[in-house]
Amino acid sequence: MPDTFLDENKPANRFARAREAQAVALLEDYVEMIGDLSAELGEARVADIAERMHVSQPTATKSIARLKREGLATSRPYRGVFLTDEGARLADRVRDRHRTVVAFLIRMGVPEDIAELDAEGIEHHVSQVTLSAFEAVLNCKT
Amino acid sequence: MPDTFLDENKPANRFARAREAQAVALLEDYVEMIGDLSAELGEARVADIAERMHVSQPTATKSIARLKREGLATSRPYRGVFLTDEGARLADRVRDRHRTVVAFLIRMGVPEDIAELDAEGIEHHVSQVTLSAFEAVLNCKT
DNA sequence: GGCGCTATATAGCACTTGCTATACTTTCGA
DNA sequence: TCGAAAGTATAGCAAGTGCTATATAGCGCC
């Protein structure tokens, strides 16, 4: 699994690409969440992850299993979940991207609460090129 | 099923909302595609839909069945697929929204081909408020 | 009119992401 | 220390979206 997901692969067409991005979106959300919890509480417990993701605890466990399969996290039974180096890098990138998208939407005149909601869906589909364009807008046109 | 999907429901949080949008995205893509094919060829055949969506023909059939369940399309065995009034309205809205998002990204400096790719994923997560903000940018700042 | 090609439908499988119910471990207080 | 509460894992189910393989219907051509 490459360090960056979306930008490497070039699926057949825009629909296939969007499907690809959607499959990765969940992983990105979980990784960011685990990173946040680790920073806040020192560790990420399954129960906390489930609560914040608004899913049941077994659902969280199942998704965490996928994170482990993908090499993004580790965990031992009845212990907390920890990000691998790769997972931590992904979490940082996801968090930065989220902040950029939210800030960009707000700059475009979108109310903050709606910017936050929309960004959660949009961010997973923003390529590096588009993200850079957003950053350019944020930096230049004060 | 309301005429507009995303903007009506208010799921528990941003993650639930993003999941909601994702479930609707496929329907939107199919509906838009069927609308396009009907306009171009006079009717939308399963084989053409499958080809353009880059999925197998049985997969297209299954998704069309869901469209029919949701009241967005109709079809008789071994005949073409047709949009209901509601489906046609949705198709129009989806097409307009897609155009707006693409145009907006291009205005932000994103190359056209990348704008097209990213828009396919982004558009399904753009609320009416954000879409209006995009339109405002397109109209005002010439 | 019937034969074959094409289009469509159906069956059956895999995987993902949800859920509830239940079993098991850990932890903490009495 | 031991038992209950809390946390975690597992089992089993549903729905959605993919796929391949196969059956069936429609259509055109001889």
Asked if residue B76 is part of any domain, the answer here is yes
For residues B104 and B125, is the Cβ–Cβ distance under 8 A? no
Note the pLDDT of residue B77: 94
Distances from the Cα of A95 to the Cαs of A30, A57, A104, in angstroms? 11, 24, 14
Q: Which of A5, A122, A128 to mutate to test the interface with B (most CBs of B within 10 A)?
A: A122
pLDDT score of B97 more than 50:
yes
Q: How far apart are CA B97 and CA B127, in angstroms?
A: 10
In this prediction, what percent of chain B has a pLDDT beyond 90? 82
pLDDT score of B11 more than 50:
no
Asked if residue B63 is part of any domain, the answer here is yes
Asked if residue A3 is part of any domain, the answer here is no
Q: Which residues touch strand C (CB under 7 A)?
A: A 23, 26-27, 54-59, 62-63, 66, 77-78; B 19, 45-48, 57-58, 61-62, 64, 75, 77-80
Of A85, A38, A34, A37, the C-alpha closest to A61 is A34
Our count of domains for chain B comes to 1
Asked if residue B115 is part of any domain, the answer here is yes
Contacts of A120 in chain B (CB under 8 A): 14-15, 17-18, 125
Whether nucleic acid strand D comes within 7 Å of the CB of B56, the answer is yes
Note down the domain range covering B24.
Answer: 14-140
Q: How far apart are CA B90 and CA A54, in angstroms?
A: 29
Contacts of A108 in chain B (CB under 8 A): 130, 133-134, 137
Note the pLDDT of residue A18: 87
For residues B22 and B37, is the Cβ–Cβ distance under 8 A? no
Contacts of B108 in chain A (CB under 8 A): 130, 133-134, 137
Asked if residue B54 is part of any domain, the answer here is yes
Asked if residue B2 is part of any domain, the answer here is no
pLDDT tens per residue, range B18-67: 888 888 999 999 999 999 999 999 999 999 999 999 999 999 999 999 99
State the SS3 of B31-99.
HHHHHHHHHHHCCECHHHHHHHHCCCHHHHHHHHHHHHHCCCEEECCCCCEEECHHHHHHHHHHHHHHH
pLDDT score of B141 more than 70:
no
B90 backbone dihedrals φ, ψ, rounded to 5°:
-60, -45
Q: How far apart are CA A98 and CA B86, in angstroms?
A: 34
Of B102, B140, B104, the C-alpha closest to A105 is B104
Stated in angstroms, how far is A107 CA from C15 C1'?
Answer: 40
Q: Can you give the CATH number for the domain in which B96 is found?
A: 1.10.10.10
Number of CB atoms found within 10 A of residue A110's CB: 24
Q: How far apart are CA A122 and CA A4, in angstroms?
A: 17
Note the pLDDT of residue B5: 41
Asked if residue A1 is part of any domain, the answer here is no
Asked if residue B3 is part of any domain, the answer here is no
